[in-house]
Structure 1
Amino acid sequence: MTESQRWFLLICTLVLGGLVYLLAPILSPFLIAGLLAYLFDPLVDRLEERRMSRTGGVVLVFVLLTTLMVVSVLLLLPQLGRQVQVMIDRVPVVIELFEQRLLPQVEAFLGVDTSALDFGSLKTLMLGNWQETGNLMAKLAGGITKSGLAVAAWAANMVLIPVVMFYLLRDWDIVMARIRVLLPLYLEPRVSLWARECDEVLGAFIKGQLLVMLALGAIYAIGLWLVGLDIALLIGMLAGLASIVPYLGFIVGIVAASVAAFIQFQDPTILVWVAVVFGIGQALEGMVLTPLLVGDRIGLHPVAVIFAIMAGGQLFGFVGVLLALPVAAVIMVLLRHLHRGYKSSTLYGSATVAEVDLRNTEPDE
């Protein structure tokens, strides 16, 4: 690569980054639509292999996805609303349980006196904050409702996402082919190789891990519902979302479910059933879900996932969160190639060669 070509690539990268930063407020619906098109393109390709037209396959996928989303919203939102209210109503019970049962055991175990703590004032303060939080949310919702501009922007995004997704999904192969043609000839083979590796990483993580998250959330929610937990759906969804990082969903879910179950039943034996539910979930994830949905493809390291999401949100807000995982996949592939280049370079091998030469020149004793 010549010096001018390197400067050209650097300028293009800087311009692209600047455009993303400046256009961040309007990019969210396009990025969401692009992500959905990327996820469902393999399904449309399979329908094409069955001699269905591209447009027909897109329409079929679109109808199925829309139906699934509408049914999910109609079934899940009322349940989630009720379970959130149940959780809020049990805040006084949590404080009272801590004060009357847990705190005496802590005093006996540690030998400390906590009588100076005013739990009555703490209870009043927490309940007041819960009430203020509810009032604040009501005021916020009222303000959003009264703001015609905010409602119009939200409605426009909701309409724009499926429209953009439809056209991107229909023309996905054409768009990818045109991007490939636009690449400089000296970069096309290498960029194509990087693109295939990035697709493997994103396919292993996004396409596979999202399905694992959805399946785990359903398993945990159904299991906790069979146990009798009132907020089973809420905790199941929380544990499923946290499963974006391996083992984090299990830790968050079993802790939250154990606390909620003990507060509801106030019987330590219920914790055994909670452990059974999450044990079954972990066994299914390790032996069935991950091998079937993710396979042996290389995904992103959990630390890389956490850092990428936090860094993207800090730099670009919600748009940065959407871009975090694709950018992290690209960086991971580039670092892998840089590592291979470094291992095969004289910079890495010169020290070894020098040490061998030094040992060869040392006099024998």
Structure 2
Amino acid sequence: MIDIRSYARYVSVTVVIGATALLAWALADVLLLAFAGIVFATVLRALADPLHRRLHLSERWSVILVVLVLTAIVAGAAWLFGNQIVQQMGELARRLPEAAQQIMERIERSPLAGTMNDAIERAGESTSGTLKGLTRFATVTLGAVANALLIVFLALYLALEPRRYLKGALRLIPIAGRDNAERALLSAGRALRKWLLGQGIAMLGVGIATGIGLAIAGVPLALALGIVAGLADFVPIIGPIAAAIPGILMGFTVGPDIALYAAIVYLVVQQLEGNLITPLAQRWAVALPPAIALVSVVAFGVLFGILGVLFATPLAVVTMVLVRELYVEDVLESPEGRRAARRAQQAP
């Protein structure tokens, strides 16, 4: 005989889970922005906590001091190097289409020209369409600036009062599960902090090594290309590949041999990153398998666009820790879970 109450409870839980999933899907962009704010708040807290411990400042004033110092560093760097960086970035944006055109002309003169004509024509049509889309580009840029400001202010609020928001989130969870949920969230926060610090070190190393290597190889605009490589390294696997394209294109503006040298520089830097920089930087962080990182980046990129690509990896880190804490350790490896596994093995 069917237990009506149990059946109704299961149906209710299923409906609630389904409705929550649909709501999360509808608000995916907002949730990603919120997660971006959490990521940057984690960075601020990681920098502020040592000041809180060593200088005996309050947590709030530690965060404020970090924000002031970061603002001063950015302003000082902009004053010292801003003009050069802006000029090189502008020159890079101007010369990349020229480099692509030079490659097309070389292809046209090569024996493969006949088989590449269609691709060249499509590229030309794409370039023409891009030039016609300047208004759309401006709109997207304004939207990106607005999102960036939202993320910054959200990060400030979260960094100033993290416990307030943590307690608010825990109140949405049944009392019996709050202790485990708090432990899991704190573990996820620590893992995210360690991953971000390690990734920041890796990005800095990649940017410096790439810039120096390209300058030695004779590639134009090495400073701008080094900055691009360092920033792109935040997205694993796909980011470094995407960052290598403009460097190789700029090498072609000088000659095929310089383009080859540029490719070698990117290859060597990536080998150094994979075998030296990242293992040292992430030795105390959560181990994220490359396959999971790649699938996360591709899946979130397809579903949520550029914002999904940018924050897929830190979200995967947090998800891995939550699954480990709340499912693997609390369910599968709990005493009840072990007893259930033994009973299943002993059953005929």
Q: 1:62 aligns with which of 67, 84, 87?
A: 67
Q: 2:136 aligns with which of 131, 134, 140?
A: 140
CA RMSD of aligned residues (A): 4.3
**Stretch moving more, 163-172 or 71-80:** 71-80
* Alpha carbons of structure 1 residues 239 and 349: separation in structure 2 relative to 1, 3 Å: farther
* Alpha carbons of structure 1 residues 212 and 116: separation in structure 2 relative to 1, 3 Å: closer
* Alpha carbons of structure 1 residues 129 and 13: separation in structure 2 relative to 1, 3 Å: closer
Partner deviation per Cα, 1:248-277 (whole Å, 9 max, x = no partner): 555555676456425523337x73575356
Kindly indicate whether residue 203 of structure 2 is the aligned counterpart of residue 213 of structure 1.
yes
**Secondary structure class of the residue paired with 2:293:** helix
TM-score by length of 2: 0.72
Q: 1:33 aligns with which of 19, 23, 37?
A: 37
**Stretch moving more, 178-187 or 294-303:** 178-187
- What fraction of aligned residue pairs are identical, expressed as a percent? 23
Query: For 1:244 and 1:326, how far apart are their aligned partners in 2?
Result: 10
* Alpha carbons of structure 1 residues 43 and 244: separation in structure 2 relative to 1, 3 Å: closer
TM-score by length of 1: 0.69
Kindly indicate whether residue 169 of structure 2 is the aligned counterpart of residue 190 of structure 1.
no
Structure 2's unaligned 5+ residue stretches are 1-5
CA contact (8 A) 2:100 2:249 kept: no
> What is the aligned partner in structure 1 of residue 47 from structure 2?
43
* Alpha carbons of structure 1 residues 139 and 47: separation in structure 2 relative to 1, 3 Å: same
Shift, 1:95, TM fit: 1.9
Q: Which amino acid in the other structure matches residue 278 of structure 2?
A: T
> What is the aligned partner in structure 2 of residue 172 from structure 1?
162
Q: 1:84 aligns with which of 61, 69, 93?
A: 93
Shift, 1:35, TM fit: 2.2
Query: For 1:90 and 1:33, how far apart are their aligned partners in 2?
Result: 37
- Name which one, 1 or 2, has greater alpha-carbon Rg: 1
Query: For 1:158 and 1:327, how far apart are their aligned partners in 2?
Result: 18
> What is the aligned partner in structure 2 of residue 52 from structure 1?
57
Where does 1:225-240 land on structure 2 (aligned, <5 Å)? 225-233=215-223, 235-240=225-230
Q: Which amino acid in the other structure matches residue 164 of structure 1?
A: L
Shift, 1:61, TM fit: 1.6
Where does 1:240-319 land on structure 2 (aligned, <5 Å)? 240-244=230-234, 257-258=247-248, 260-267=250-257, 271-272=260-261, 275=264, 278-279=267-268, 282-283=271-272, 286-287=275-276, 289-316=277-304
Query: For 1:258 and 1:16, how far apart are their aligned partners in 2?
Result: 46
Shift, 1:291, TM fit: 4.4
Query: For 1:272 and 1:316, how far apart are their aligned partners in 2?
Result: 36
Q: 1:130 aligns with which of 127, 138, 160?
A: 127
Query: For 1:22 and 1:176, how far apart are their aligned partners in 2?
Result: 24
* Alpha carbons of structure 1 residues 13 and 248: separation in structure 2 relative to 1, 3 Å: same
Q: Which amino acid in the other structure matches residue 163 of structure 1?
A: F
